[in-house]
Amino acid sequence: MKNIFVIKGNKKHIIGRLLSVLFLMVLVCENWCGWDIRYSFAAFVVITYISLMPLTILNPKNMVFFFYFAWYVLGPFGSNYKRYFVTYKDYSNEAFLMLFSTYIAIMITLDILIGKESVDYDRKAYSLIGIEVPITVRLVLLILLILTLSIFISRTGGLKNWFGDNLSAGHFSRRGSGLYSLIYQYIYYFLIFVEGQQKIDSPFKLLRRFFYLTTLPLMFVFIGSKGQMLLCILLLFAPILLNEKLITWKTVVLVVTGIAIYLINMYIRVGNWHDSLGHTLNYLDTLEKFMMVLRDYKPGFMTTFYMPFTWPFVKLGLLPDTVYYDFNIWLTDMYNHNKWAILQATDQWNIETDMYLNFGFVFGIPFVILLFSVIAKIYVKAKNVGGCWIYIYMLEYMYILSHLRGGIILFWDWFLIPLFVWIIWRYAKDTKMRISLKDQ
């Protein structure tokens, strides 16, 4: 146990790791005394982050802290705040103990495996590290993107359904169009990442960069995901941001951009600014969903863990449509049937729910540690090697939110992992590869 807290870290971070474990013990004692621990939880989440604070903007610890702070410190202060803790008062402490246990397990894992960061690097040389994709390949991909996006728009009611009086009509009419959505989104991610690596040394390249910047708002409408839109921005500016210090003007721009994307997405979903602003904190309702499960279910073993593995068989018609391929769909259908049956939309339950239903919570911690160990290793590869590892990490960085608000294994890992394997096989053979500074 001693080695876990002393390897790869300066004294400040070693103290931070020990403090986080001490904080958990304090919460356990407060719970044993019958005290309300949610305020101590909020303070300990912040102090743990400060004691383990990373040096760079895109360190995965930032995303983990953002999730736990936004969803479990700020979220309960929405208009549903009183209802949360009147209805689920008996389950509040249990929920916060599980949340903090997962939080410190993730933060300590990341802190150990990433180790001491450095932001001293040759910016000019680093900006050239990338993957080499001929212009002809990019043109073919662009044509495929336009084609699949056109089919997607047609199958979801046409442009009038996306830009009519009801802005959310297109978003909630996507049933049966998932394949086309999947294709055009990931082609767009790849193209925008490759473009972001290009050195702007000609008017044509400047025009291309301008094209991608101007298409971002349009793609926001069709992608419909706050996280995926922020991902596009990260991909476009990946070489600049990956080694950027945590506290800079770029951090402020990134945070403001993220808030703007969030508010615009709320407006698209709700349809007017008044209601969308009121819905801002109530959207962060994962804590309430978790306490519902604690009230209605006992700790389980493999209750839902198998579900993501059924996804391709359901989509290929080898299993009936009534088979759930995601435990969030299952729970949404249980608690909010019409939301899934009619709109094909889901509520979101956290990774702790997954751990609770499948591993009695405690035995799920090793799986969470394993998941974030992989993310930490990809991050280190992205910083030290660059190339395709940057692309893979940028996707995984945003999918941290999906895991924390969706489960250990996600059904889209069926196509995401093969994509990563292919990219690594195709582009990671030569770690010294440099992108071409002129089109081929």
Examine the fold and report which residue of 114, 148, 173 is the final residue of a domain before the chain moves on.
114
pTM of the model: 0.86
129 plus 236 within the same structural domain: yes
356 found inside a domain: no
Residues 366, 360: Cα–Cα separation, whole Å: 12
309 found inside a domain: no
Q: Which domain holds residue 63?
A: 3-114
Residues 238, 389: Cα–Cα separation, whole Å: 11
388 found inside a domain: yes
Q: What is the SS3 assignment for 340?
A: helix
Query: Tokens in use for 80?
Result: 């549903």
109 plus 86 within the same structural domain: yes
136 plus 48 within the same structural domain: no
Examine the fold and report which residue of 67, 97, 114 is the final residue of a domain before the chain moves on.
114
385 found inside a domain: yes
Residues 266, 343: Cα–Cα separation, whole Å: 17
228 plus 130 within the same structural domain: yes
Query: Tokens in use for 424?
Result: 């690594």
74 plus 157 within the same structural domain: no
pLDDT of amino acid 272:
59
Residues 76, 62: Cα–Cα separation, whole Å: 21
130 plus 74 within the same structural domain: no
130 plus 237 within the same structural domain: yes
Selection from 335, 337, 236 nearest residue 293 by Cα: 335
Domains identified in the chain, total number:
2
Question: Residue 8 region, left (φ>0) first, then alpha (ψ -120 to 50), else beta?
Answer: left
- DSSP state letter for 56: B
pLDDT of amino acid 75:
80
Amino acid at 293: V
70 plus 201 within the same structural domain: no
313 found inside a domain: no
128 plus 106 within the same structural domain: no
Residues 64, 49: Cα–Cα separation, whole Å: 9
- Angle of CA points 285, 310, 377, to nearest 5°: 70
230 plus 371 within the same structural domain: yes
Examine the fold and report which residue of 114, 137, 155 is the final residue of a domain before the chain moves on.
114
Q: What is the pLDDT along the chain (440 residues), one digit of tens a residue?
A: 444 444 445 677 888 899 999 999 999 999 999 898 989 999 999 999 999 999 889 999 999 999 999 999 988 776 566 666 677 788 989 999 999 999 999 999 999 999 877 554 444 444 444 667 778 888 898 899 899 888 888 877 777 767 766 555 666 666 666 778 888 888 989 888 888 877 776 777 778 888 888 888 778 777 767 778 888 888 888 888 888 888 888 888 888 888 888 777 777 666 655 555 556 666 788 888 999 999 999 999 999 999 999 988 887 778 887 788 899 999 999 998 887 777 677 888 999 999 999 999 999 999 999 999 999 999 998 888 888 888 999 999 999 999 999 899 998 888 889 989 888 888 776 444 433 333 33
Query: Tokens in use for 290?
Result: 């978790």
> CA torsion, points 199, 205, 208, 212, in degrees to nearest 10?
20
- Angle of CA points 257, 260, 264, to nearest 5°: 140
Helix (H) or strand (E) holding 434: none
24 plus 168 within the same structural domain: no
CA 325 to chain centre: 19
Residues 168, 266: Cα–Cα separation, whole Å: 10
pLDDT of amino acid 124:
42
251 found inside a domain: no
pLDDT of amino acid 78:
63
On whether the CB atoms of residues 244 and 56 are closer than 8 A, the answer is: yes
140 plus 194 within the same structural domain: yes
On whether the CB atoms of residues 249 and 307 are closer than 8 A, the answer is: no
Distance of CA 364 to CAs 25, 105, 187, 206, Å? 19, 11, 34, 49
pLDDT of amino acid 210:
82
